[in-house]
Chains A and B, each alone.
Chain A
């Protein structure tokens, strides 16, 4: 009897707790003071007591907040995407540090680097805390939260360096990733310019998307190659799946109901994708010959035989890093234009050159 009474209470308490949590997860996006973003889900800007805050959230439960009570003018941005977005905002003079110069394709970065305006603080993936202190940034932008790095957290706290975790890679659509330029704009106080640039990107993207909207002929598209023994396949809610469908193609694995990449075997991919029409994104490979040397069974795919293989590394820097993952992610309409040209060349008769893609030559 006592036990039952007790048990009921536990159920009630658990129920209440679960309710409370649900409310918590929703409040900051439904809050009327939140700046409405069109696509991005992992960041936002909210006004509390007349002070604006930029918030970033990974799992929609915990958020980290950055106070926007001043314009950040010394930014350490460890990543190609925030740096390129600063370039788009014409604000590279605020950049004081990057991770490793070898990752960048942008010429302006090399100029600033040789003029000693910016320094590397994570060369070879090794932190150089001395140079980080020397650069003396107001804000550090990194891709991961680095909570486990106690020394870094200690330095950030002691020197009042804000930390923005750049989670653009969690966004599911190209436009959502591009919308992160608004976060950079908010930091350096160029909100309206950022909005303007994003509207332009959006307009161009949607115009291109409309071209393919009514096509009934949708070629099957296979993406990526094996990494070791594993083929990482992006789900239907992923960035690449969205791009392919916007470009008027059919992503072969659009029945995979997840948004990240998961590992599968070669045979699994062969089973579904043997008769694909087009194959894109081959990482470092630059010819069909190279591809076949790496793994001879790639030739079993139809696109290999018909030579409908396109890679996105047309523009690389001298260290082999790909501009696709720098300017491409920030300006997704360029990628979309390339993909439409690949899948439906008849729809873009005036386009002669690709931005990032090229057809893999035989040798």
Chain B
């Protein structure tokens, strides 16, 4: 337990360090006084860092919950088709901006569509869950649905104009810098709420981990709680996807990493660590991007390039039952 606390503080320290670095590193030096420092900090750097911390944490948390519920390390927002559905709906929104564009609605357009999309994706998975309880079948259906959504997207892009296609392609590369300060603060609040809500479900998740029967024996309505959690996850994924686009890697890999490193099945520790590692991964990626590439590499590309080899190494080194 003592070791765990030391670990947690260390990661927290790293997160703070990299967040601070992310705020101080960029294309413009803060010390040369070439431009109003306040503007740069308040309008660009702080929103970006807050977005990285919040969305990384949310995605990793969602991934963790999905992996526990589906009892499969492959489960993640992306695998179950939730992200893809959110993408599809957002793409429909982006590509038809010229068609039904309304000024007051534009701020909420992508967010709303993305959350609706995540819900639709989740509803379909819940329908499948009604027919079969077999996790493998559900995961397979999720993967297939992901492909279906991409196919529909393909048809859309085939019909759309060059301009909106470019916009959409940009959006799919994922980005943490396209949020304003208020949006970033909103994401931070959402991530805090997500964290607190997940803590409330610890008892259920803990017993669920042992077996299907245990929650019922303990007097909990297993299927109801499960559905509640899934709905929460859909909303969270929808919100993050709306602001940052589909972010790869974090949702699936971070929870696995946490569970590999943290061998005793303590869900509270997993939740805390998933959140911190998720935030850390996105913040670190942005710091690397700013220092070495002047911020010009798309987020999804960079995170996969450094993240995937690291994950493979960790898996091989700590080869245990995931």
Contact = CB atoms under 8 A, between A and B. Distances in A.
Interface of A: 58-59, 62, 123-131, 133-134, 136, 143-145, 147-152, 154-155, 158-159, 230, 260, 263
Interface string B62-101: 0000000000000000000000000000000110011001
Contact of A126 (B109, B159, B166, B295): B295
Contacts of B179: 150-151
A127 B110 CA distance: 19
B35 A129 contact: no
Interface string B25-67: 0111000001100011001110100000000000000000000
Of A149, A150, A155, most B-chain CB atoms within 10 Å: A150
Nearest to B111: A150
A47 B206 CA distance: 71
B43 A150 contact: no
18 contacts: A59-B98, A125-B298, A126-B297, A128-B27, A128-B295, A129-B44, A130-B27, A133-B40, A134-B27, A144-B164, A147-B97, A148-B94, A148-B97, A148-B167, A150-B178, A150-B179, A151-B47, A260-B161
A297 to B, nearest CB: 21
Nearest to B167: A144
B44 A144 contact: no
B285 interface: no
Given A59-B98, A151-B179, A130 B28 contact: yes
Contacts of B28: 130-131, 133-134
A145 B47 CA distance: 23
A131 B173 CA distance: 21
Contacts of B177: 127, 129, 151
Contacts, number: 84
A129 B43 contact: yes
Given A143-B163, A150-B179, 10 more contacts: A62-B101, A123-B296, A124-B297, A125-B173, A130-B40, A134-B34, A148-B93, A148-B109, A151-B179, A151-B180
Contacts of B35: 133-134, 136
A143 B161 CA distance: 13
B134 interface: no
B225 to A, nearest CB: 36
A150 B183 contact: yes
Contacts of B295: 126, 128, 130
Interface in B154-206: 158-159, 161, 163-164, 166-167, 170, 173, 175, 177-180, 183
A244 B310 CA distance: 56
Contacts of B178: 127, 149-152
B21 to A, nearest CB: 15
How many B residues are at the interface, by size bracket? 35 or more
Contacts of B7: none
Nearest first, the 3 closest Cβ-Cβ pairs linking A and B are A123-B296, A154-B180, A124-B296
Contacts of B163: 143-144
Nearest to B93: A148
Contacts of B98: 58-59
Nearest to B103: A147
Contact of B43 (A62, A125, A154, A263): A154
Contacts of B297: 124, 126
B16 to A, nearest CB: 22
Contacts of B101: 62, 147
Nearest to A119: B27
Contact of B158 (A124, A133, A155, A230): A230
A128 B178 CA distance: 10
Contacts of A148: 93-94, 97, 106, 109-110, 167
Contacts of A59: 98
B39 A133 contact: yes
B286 to A, nearest CB: 12
A126 B158 contact: no
B43 A155 contact: yes
B305 to A, nearest CB: 14
B106 A147 contact: yes
Contacts of A263: 158-159
